Chains A and B, each alone.
Chain A
Amino acid sequence: EPEVTQTPSHQVTQMGQEVILRCVPISNHLYFYWYRQILGQKVEFLVSFYNNEISEKSEIFDDQFSVERPDGSNFTLKIRSTKLEDSAMYFCASKGTGETQYFGPGTRLLVL
């Protein structure tokens, strides 16, 4: 069964460093998403991406964040200058022409 994959599974970085989180959505899916979950808190929407552009972003998704679909298969989330409060699980999701989003296993980001 097709699934969303994410790399790396864990990432440790120093405050102020740039990180890139990678996702391979399900083939033929058209809509792509990033969500995050701070430890012990709710899953929060960050951004949606469709037709090679951001279709919606939340207040969390400020200028430090960017997304890209560089090669037609990968979908990346870049955090330009990480802060301590960026420590969280980051989930990628994708959706095809149906109604359902499918989530990846997540990347655990720890900013020291």
Chain B
Amino acid sequence: DAKTTQPPSMDCAEGRAANLPCNHSTISGNEYVYWYRQIHSQGPQYIIHGLKNNETNEMASLIITEDRKSSTLILPHATLRDTAVYYCIVSYNSGTYKYIFGTGTRLKVLA
């Protein structure tokens, strides 16, 4: 089973920030949090990842709580093209680094 829980769906107005939460209460100390998105049936697209500290790149920001039990992906100015399913994944640290996907959050950006 996936080690993360996310709300099944969210709406966001175009131009506003989209804040997507994720709970990962059983995360281990050396496990990373990854965010990917999938637009229609395309391949999952990497967005951002982090271990303990907050991270920012050209796509998004990742806020990880101090206890690391939850995180939030922030898309600062959502556009219609950000409509997708967003997956929060905790790396399965078995040595193979396989991903266990959950059902994700279906984000709909509204005009």
Q: How far is the CA of A93 from the CA of B89 in the complex (A)?
A: 15
Known A-B contacts A99-B32, A99-B49; the reply to A43 vs B94 at CB < 8 A is: no
In the complex the two chains form, is B97's CB within 8 Å of A31's CB? yes
Which of B41, B95, B97, B100 touches A101 (beta carbons < 8 Å)? B97
In the assembled complex, which residues on chain B have CB atoms less than 8 Å from the CB atom of A37? 41
- Among residues of A, the one whose C-beta sits closest to the C-beta of B91 is A99
Closest 4 CB pairs of A and B: A103-B43, A43-B101, A48-B96, A56-B96
In the complex the two chains form, is B100's CB within 8 Å of A45's CB? yes
In the assembled complex, which residues on chain B have CB atoms less than 8 Å from the CB atom of A48? 96-98
* Chain A contacts with B in 22-58, Cβ cutoff 8 A: 31, 33, 35, 37, 39, 42-45, 48, 50, 55-56
Q: How far is the CA of A44 from the CA of B1 in the complex (A)?
A: 10
* Chain A contacts with B in 78-92, Cβ cutoff 8 A: 89, 91
* Chain B contacts with A in 53-80, Cβ cutoff 8 A: none
Q: How far is the CA of A80 from the CA of B34 in the complex (A)?
A: 33
Residue-wise interface mask of B (1-15) relative to A, using a CB-CB cutoff of 8 A (1 in contact, 0 not): 010000000000000
In the assembled complex, which residues on chain A have CB atoms less than 8 Å from the CB atom of B34? 99-100
In the complex the two chains form, is B45's CB within 8 Å of A103's CB? yes
- Looking at the assembled complex, report how far the CB atom of B104 sits from the nearest CB atom of chain A, in whole angstroms: 8
Known A-B contacts A37-B41, A42-B102, A89-B41; the reply to A102 vs B46 at CB < 8 A is: yes
- Looking at the assembled complex, report how far the CB atom of A88 sits from the nearest CB atom of chain B, in whole angstroms: 10
In the complex the two chains form, is A55's CB within 8 Å of B43's CB? no
In the complex the two chains form, is B98's CB within 8 Å of A56's CB? yes
- Looking at the assembled complex, report how far the CB atom of B75 sits from the nearest CB atom of chain A, in whole angstroms: 19
In the assembled complex, which residues on chain B have CB atoms less than 8 Å from the CB atom of A39? 41
Known A-B contacts A43-B101, A99-B32; the reply to A55 vs B44 at CB < 8 A is: no
In the assembled complex, which residues on chain B have CB atoms less than 8 Å from the CB atom of A103? 36, 43-46
- Looking at the assembled complex, report how far the CB atom of A47 sits from the nearest CB atom of chain B, in whole angstroms: 9
Known A-B contacts A42-B101, A45-B100; the reply to A105 vs B43 at CB < 8 A is: yes
- Among residues of A, the one whose C-beta sits closest to the C-beta of B103 is A42
In the complex the two chains form, is A55's CB within 8 Å of B95's CB? yes
In the assembled complex, which residues on chain A have CB atoms less than 8 Å from the CB atom of B102? 42
